[in-house]
Amino acid sequence: MSDIVFMDTETLGVHIDAPIWEFAAIRRKTLGSGLAAEKSLHIQIHHYADPWLNGPDALPEQFQADYRERFNFESAVGQSVAARQIAEFLEGRPHIVGAVPNFDTERIAHQLLRPSHIPEPWHYHLIDVENLIVGYLRSARHEADAPREQIERLTTLPWSSDLLSTAVGVDPEKFDRHTAMGDVLWVKAQYDAVMGGAA
Query: For the sheet containing 20-32, what is the strand order?
Result: 35-44, 20-32, 4-11, 95-98, 127-128
CA-wise closest residue to 197 among 28, 9, 74: 28
Is it true that domain 4-127 has CATH number 3.20.20.450? Answer: no
How would you class 104 by CB atoms within 10 Å of its CB: exposed for 0-12, middle for 13-18, buried for 19 or more?
buried
For the chain, residues classed under CATH 3.30.420.10 are 4-127
- Residue 80 φ/ψ, nearest 5 degrees: -70, -35
pLDDT of residue 150: 76
pLDDT tens digits along 104-120: 999 999 999 999 999 99
Band (pLDDT 50/70/90 cuts) for residue 143 is low
Amino acid symbol at 75 = S
pLDDT tens digits along 150-196: 778 888 889 899 999 999 999 999 999 889 999 999 999 999 999 98
Quote the pTM value.
0.92
